Amino acid sequence: MCFVPPVAFRIEFARATTPCGSTGIEVPACSRYRQTRAVYTTALHKVTPIAPKCLDHLSYISNGYRVAARLDPARDLVTIGTDTANQGAIMAGSKVFTEGGGGRFSGLWRRRWVWQTLGIIIAAILLLYYPIGMLIAHKVDDDLSFAPATSMVPPGASRAVAVAAALVDREVNVNGWVANDPFFFPSGALDNMPNFQQGIVDAVATFAIELRDQIGRVRGSGEVDKDLAEALSTLQYSGTKWVFDLSTSILPTATSEAQYRAGIRALNAYNANVAAGKAVFDRRADNLQAAISRIALDVGSISAALDKQIRDESGNIFDFTCDDLFYRVKGEAYGYFLIMKGLRQDFDQIITERGLAPLWDEAIASLEETAMFHPIMVWNGQLDGQFLPNHLVAQGFFLLRARTQLREIAAILDK
């Protein structure tokens, strides 16, 4: 007898009164999902049941012959047989399907141990995928010595504008923007890094308001620079927009990265025009005063957010939002720290003439202190607690110092 490779079959039973062939054998009918491991031998060849099986769906490994079966409800039996000569002997209405026929392992996927093994592998991948992926993606880049490339600040250009553009470029194109990553990316589970990144963009967007409304116009009454208008509108875009935003549309939408890249290009284009004498960067005391007042106002706003969090949640060891606010504030303070350093060079003559250099450096130092906190875990402990610190209070102290110093600078410039 020649060897015929085993073939998997799926049988969908139909009731019939005709027998399924003279070579059949009788076995007890199985209940749904019950597993029978016995091997049955017919007059011709071996027929092996494989799980799962029930009254209306049974699977078999056959040696290549058609397989048929018949349900005898009166005796609670299923008659199984093979038929090689008379196809009509297969009971009427029954359907026999080849499933991946021809392979010795064609029915392997029906084995319970296969699924158990696959489940263990998938669980291991998930347990490693998120923790390792989060460690790789996570980066709170608070480098206090960060500066734009020399080529990005040609003679006559603004140092502060170059810093602002370079900051956003670093977070979007170098570190990778993670605030809009969906749940199936490991970075989608991060919260500290995205809040830090969003704080940086908020600081740059606030600075862009003064660029568009004051510094980038002749005495604040000239025509709005189109590049600055473009920069402001794109930098104010939500940082959580991915390719799809089902809350607004089922169609693809503009991502946060795409909008921020447009803002970077607009800031760089404006700065190039300033260097070429085609755009205005008006280095007047009142423009600087307006910019500093705007920054002080925003610092006051984030200070109020810290105050509310402390009043509402201090002492709550399950305050899982305090780290979000902490890193949002840290990002804004870091952005303003670098922008203030840039403005120090852009308006050096005015700052020197007004004797603002010491106060300006103190304000920068306070922002630096706010930005350089690196707690392993952020706590919002009791204000008089003995064991758990309150990092929001420490951060808010230096932030309020910075606001006070910024207001003093604005007041001197306003004289």
The pLDDT, as a whole number, for residue 71 is 43
The pLDDT, as a whole number, for residue 113 is 83
- Name the range with the highest mean pLDDT among 58-72, 157-171, 247-261: 157-171
Contacts of 117 (CB under 8 A, 6+ apart): none
Task: Write out the H or E segment, with its range, that includes residue 402.
Answer: helix 391-413
**Residue with the larger pLDDT of the pair 58 and 68:** 68
Could you give the 3-state DSSP secondary structure of residue 301?
A: helix
pLDDT for 224-263, tens place per residue?
A: 999 999 999 999 999 999 988 777 777 888 999 999 999 9
Look at residue 414 and tell me whether its pLDDT is greater than 60: yes
User: Which pTM does this prediction carry?
Assistant: 0.73
Look at residue 320 and tell me whether its pLDDT is greater than 50: yes
Q: How many residues does the chain have?
A: 415
Residues 29, 33, 38: CA angle, nearest 5 degrees: 55
Q: Give the lowest-confidence range in 75-79, 213-217, 323-327.
A: 75-79
The pLDDT, as a whole number, for residue 210 is 95
Look at residue 388 and tell me whether its pLDDT is greater than 60: yes
**Residue with the larger pLDDT of the pair 97 and 265:** 265
Decide: 109 and 18 in contact? Cβ < 8 Å: no
The pLDDT, as a whole number, for residue 211 is 96
Q: Classify 338 in phi/psi space as left (phi over 0), alpha (psi -120 to 50) or beta.
A: alpha
The pLDDT, as a whole number, for residue 62 is 38
